[in-house]
């Protein structure tokens, strides 16, 4: 039996001491088989697919960590582009079991895959390669197997839905799958996938690299060598090692940049789950973790404790789940497993059994249900890794922990909210640290609010509100952020550079990056970011985006002393140039693909800047007012933008209230009126709500509309009146009622009812009006009393 197993594992007849073992990453069956094989084989060395540049720290993998964790490799080329890759491990990963079992028998355990930095440089040198993810990759991903045409055909033959279901049927469900049978199936499965696939050039180079590592170890060890790799590579490695074509070739020498390396980082089940993060991982890692633990104690998997856990979780969520329901669900799961020929009740059996027994509603294809969401949560699991004491951590981790302790910002499990006054030096220092953490993506620190400048109200104290809470992902986020740089300032600066490169010609993002640099105190980056933004503004044609940039610059200009900005004169010049560019774009604005609402927001920003900074910047009323006057009088411009321009002119007292009435009559069309008022109210609602003549004119226009016209006008009118607060709307209605009482002194209509007592919202009122109109139409149709009242309505 032993000879049969070893013969199946290694077909390299002239290398009888090298045994190639195919695995699927994160497969409990593969992990169990590799454990058994190491026990039987007792190899001198176990060579594993993994980053070979981590071998100098491989002993750290044998510390008492809490799984899952990952080897995180990072690389930054000379142009500043950053790449990252994860090699994740969970308790049932065959690579993890090979590491632990190999060490336990005294074998040398080593990774043999090409370093991630080499892979990145090779990809950069071969531009015709298929597009790859830029930032992060999951290296233990079975994408080669999943994409094979062989899998599609085999799924159809076996009557399963996908790759995961196919692998479960062939390898996972049978708890007593013999080692030799596993090897036979895995070799046939993976070799056929490889046969029908066209290997990636980078994968071919990786396989040559791994083969070279194997050949070097063959000369070193007298005993047997076990090679554990993804099954897709097994046959190719076997051929290369057997033929020894690379033994006389020189090693690939790649000049590495300074910024690269490997480190350990905590991982989580959520990131491992193929349904939420790890696109090529196992679906529901918590389920397979439960199976692994249960089968380590018993020969078969008992699904009932897992079903009980599901029921308890449902009851905690308030879902009614009786004992009878539990019995019915368990019976259905077992029956489905028997029907499908499963010795153990499996993942799909449990899902389908609970769905069939407990979900009574029809579900559309692809839709979800609260019960299915709970099942997904339980099957995913909530495990979050933690590194053991003695693990080497990046310098960034130690610096951040020290700074947080010094500033009293160390996160705890209890959330706390803090308010920082940037006028105070100590709070300003805290703010800069927190912004640096936000920029590099450290979990547990979020900016909840702060001083708003675009409202036009100047506040002497600039405040920020932050929420701080320890999160399990804190350590992993710091470790992964270390790829940006060894210290907090360098890391934040590098992160901003990366974002700036990705932002391209996006003016809004460029201005936000400039603001972030200022808030984080990264004075070394502000100059270049400002130059970049200035070039974008000078040649940009996106009016809403340019006004958003103006809004960010307004904050910087208003509080440049508090933020301690350097070279304030150049920042002032950028602010002024952006303002004038906004005026130019506004006057030459055509039909907007983004919608007029964004343009109105842009007009509000321009007006806020003029109100706040006209004196300091030397902005003239003639220049600004002239642009808004021309926009207001432009017949080709949209009603909403013309209304906004009129609102600015009214607020600046460049036109009289009386002239607004004649302008209003230009938009009596029901389709136009609401849009015009939206723009007008956005900029001048305080002035308009005190003008009784204007309100009376709108009321009279509403009364004269017929039913169809009124219903057509309602949506845009509702948008227009959203600019008024509830109390302002109440007093508007009171003014209208007073106007009616003045015109009808014998019929007082005022009922001084406070807004709090009004129980009918706008949607209900509109539905009632439609019903009323239908009722009146029916009355008129049959000549009944009341039908002649159709169309009598009022704004009040």
Map tokens 């980078």 to a residue. Answer: 202
248 pLDDT higher than 60: no
Query: Using an 8 Å Cβ cutoff, are 496 and 280 in contact?
Result: no
270 pLDDT higher than 90: no
**CA-closest candidate to residue 292, choices 344, 355, 232, 335:** 344
> Which pLDDT does position 438 carry in this prediction?
95
> 739-787, pLDDT tens digit by residue?
766 666 555 544 544 444 556 676 777 777 777 777 777 777 666 655 4
> 412-449, pLDDT tens digit by residue?
989 999 999 988 999 999 999 999 999 999 999 999 88
Mean pLDDT of 72-82: 78
Indicate the Cα dihedral angle 481, 486, 490, 495, nearest 10°.
-20
- Determine the longest span between alpha carbons in the chain, in angstroms: 114
What's the start-to-end Cα distance of the chain, in Å? Answer: 93
174 pLDDT higher than 50: yes
Question: What's the chain's average pLDDT?
Answer: 84
658 pLDDT higher than 90: no
pLDDT band at residue 288 using 50, 70 and 90 as cut-offs: very high
> Which pLDDT does position 485 carry in this prediction?
86
> Which pLDDT does position 276 carry in this prediction?
52
Distance of alpha carbon 59 from alpha carbon 65, whole angstroms? 12
CB < 8 Å & 24+ apart, contacts of 245-253: 246/208, 246/211, 246/212, 246/215, 247/212, 247/215, 251/212, 252/118, 252/205, 252/209
> Which pLDDT does position 686 carry in this prediction?
84
> Which pLDDT does position 40 carry in this prediction?
95
127 pLDDT higher than 70: no
> 580-602, pLDDT tens digit by residue?
999 999 999 876 545 588 899 99
Distance of alpha carbon 21 from alpha carbon 187, whole angstroms? 9
> Which pLDDT does position 510 carry in this prediction?
93
> Which pLDDT does position 190 carry in this prediction?
94
> 776-796, pLDDT tens digit by residue?
777 776 666 554 444 444 433
479 pLDDT higher than 70: yes
Mean pLDDT of 601-614: 92
- Residue 661 exposure: Cα atoms within 13 Å on the Cβ side: 11
> Which pLDDT does position 442 carry in this prediction?
95
> 8-58, pLDDT tens digit by residue?
565 443 566 899 999 999 999 999 999 999 999 999 999 999 999 999 999
The two tokens of residue 383 are: 């495990």
> 532-570, pLDDT tens digit by residue?
999 999 988 899 999 999 999 998 888 888 888 877 888
137 pLDDT higher than 80: no
> Which pLDDT does position 6 carry in this prediction?
54
Distance of alpha carbon 107 from alpha carbon 616, whole angstroms? 75
> Which pLDDT does position 136 carry in this prediction?
60
Give backbone dihedrals phi and psi of 640, rounded to 5 degrees, phi first: -65, -45
184 pLDDT higher than 60: yes
Centroid of chain to Cα 275: 14
> 302-350, pLDDT tens digit by residue?
988 888 888 888 788 777 777 888 888 889 999 999 999 999 999 999 9
Indicate the Cα dihedral angle 219, 225, 230, 231, nearest 10°.
100
Buried b (16+ CB within 10 A) or exposed e, 202-215: bbebbbbbbbbbbb
Query: Using an 8 Å Cβ cutoff, are 79 and 120 in contact?
Result: no
Distance of alpha carbon 240 from alpha carbon 215, whole angstroms? 10
278 pLDDT higher than 50: no
Query: Using an 8 Å Cβ cutoff, are 410 and 468 in contact?
Result: no
């Amino acid at each position: 039996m032993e000879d049969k197993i070893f013969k199946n594992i290694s077909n390299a007849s002239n290398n009888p001491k090298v045994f190639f073992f195919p695995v699927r990453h994160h497969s409990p069956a593969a992990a169990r088989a590799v454990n058994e094989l190491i026990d039987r084989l007792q190899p001198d060395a176990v060579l594993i697919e993994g980053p070979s540049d981590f071998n100098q720290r491989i002993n750290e993998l044998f510390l008492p960590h809490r799984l899952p964790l990952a080897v995180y490799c990072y690389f930054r080329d000379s142009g500043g582009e950053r790449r990252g890759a994860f090699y994740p491990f969970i308790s049932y990963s065959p690579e993890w079991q090979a590491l632990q079992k190999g060490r336990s028998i005294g074998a040398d355990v080593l990774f043999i895959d090409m370093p991630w930095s080499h892979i990145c440089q090779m990809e950069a040198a071969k531009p015709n390669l298929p597009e790859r993810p830029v930032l992060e990759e999951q290296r233990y991903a079975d994408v080669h197997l999943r994409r094979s045409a062989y899998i599609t055909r085999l799924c159809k033959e076996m009557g399963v839905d996908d790759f995961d279901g196919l692998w479960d049927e062939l390898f996972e469900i049978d708890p007593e799958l013999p080692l030799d049978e596993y090897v036979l199936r895995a070799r046939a499965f993976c070799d056929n996938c490889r046969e029908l696939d066209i290997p990636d050039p980078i994968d071919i180079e990786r396989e040559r690299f791994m083969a070279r590592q194997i050949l070097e170890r063959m000369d070193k060890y007298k005993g047997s060598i076990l090679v554990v790799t993804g099954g897709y590579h097994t046959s190719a490695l076997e051929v290369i090692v057997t033929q020894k074509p690379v033994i006389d070739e020189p090693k690939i020498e790649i000049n590495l940049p300074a910024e690269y390396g490997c480190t350990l980082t905590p991982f989580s089940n959520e990131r491992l789950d193929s349904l939420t993060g790890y696109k090529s991982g196992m679906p529901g890692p918590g389920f397979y973790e439960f199976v692994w633990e249960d089968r380590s104690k018993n020969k078969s998997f008992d699904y009932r404790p897992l079903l009980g856990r599901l029921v308890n979780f449902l009851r905690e969520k308030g879902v009614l789940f009786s004992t009878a329901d539990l019995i019915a669900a368990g019976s259905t799961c077992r029956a489905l497993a028997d029907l499908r020929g499963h010795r153990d009740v499996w993942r799909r059996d449990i899902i389908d059994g609970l769905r069939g027994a407990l979900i009574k509603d029809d579900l559309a294809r692809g839709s979800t249900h609260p019960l299915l969401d709970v099942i997904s949560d339980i099957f995913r699991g909530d495990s979050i890794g933690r590194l053991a004491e003695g693990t080497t951590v990046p310098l960034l981790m130690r610096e951040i922990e020290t700074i947080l302790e010094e500033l009293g910002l160390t996160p705890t499990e209890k959330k706390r909210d803090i308010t920082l006054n940037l006028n105070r030096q100590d709070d300003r220092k805290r703010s800069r640290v927190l912004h640096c953490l936000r920029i590099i993506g450290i979990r547990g620190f979020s900016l909840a609010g702060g001083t708003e400048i675009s409202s036009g109200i100047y506040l002497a104290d600039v405040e920020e509100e932050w929420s701080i809470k320890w999160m399990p992902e804190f350590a992993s986020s710091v470790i992964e952020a270390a790829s940006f740089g060894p210290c907090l300032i360098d890391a934040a600066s590098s992160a901003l550079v990366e974002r700036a490169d990705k932002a391209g010609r996006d003016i809004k993002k460029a201005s936000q990056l400039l603001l972030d640099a200022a808030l984080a105190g990264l004075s070394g980056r502000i100059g270049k970011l400002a130059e970049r933004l200035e070039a974008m503004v000078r040649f940009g044609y996106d009016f809403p985006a340019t006004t958003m940039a103006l809004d960010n610059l307004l904050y910087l200009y208003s509080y440049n002393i508090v933020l301690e900005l350097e070279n304030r004169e150049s920042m002032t010049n950028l602010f002024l140039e952006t303002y004038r560019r906004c005026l130019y774009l506004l006057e030459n604005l055509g039909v907007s693909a983004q919608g007029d609402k964004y343009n109105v927001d842009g007009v509000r920003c321009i007006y806020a800047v003029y109100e706040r900074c006209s004196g300091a910047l030397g902005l003239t009323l003639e220049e600004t007012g002239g642009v808004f006057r021309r926009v207001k009088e432009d017949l080709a411009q949209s009603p909403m933008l013309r209304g906004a321009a009129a609102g600015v002119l009214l607020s600046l007292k460049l036109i009289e209230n009386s002239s607004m009435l004649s302008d209003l009559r230009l938009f009596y069309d029901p389709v136009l009126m609401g849009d015009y008022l939206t723009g007008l109210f956005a900029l001048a609602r305080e002035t308009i709500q005190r003008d009784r003549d204007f309100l009376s004119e709108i009321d009279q226009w509403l009364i004269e509309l017929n039913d169809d016209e009124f219903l057509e006008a309602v949506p845009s009118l509702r948008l227009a009146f959203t600019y008024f607060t509830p109390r302002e709307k109440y007093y508007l209605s009171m003014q209208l009622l007073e106007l009616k009482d003045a015109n009808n002194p014998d019929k007082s209509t005022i009922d001084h009812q406070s807004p709090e007592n009004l129980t009918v919202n706008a949607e209900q009122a509109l539905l009632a009006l439609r019903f009323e109109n239908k009722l009146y139409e029916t009355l008129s149709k049959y000549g009944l009393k009341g039908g002649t009242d159709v169309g009598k309505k009022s704004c009040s």
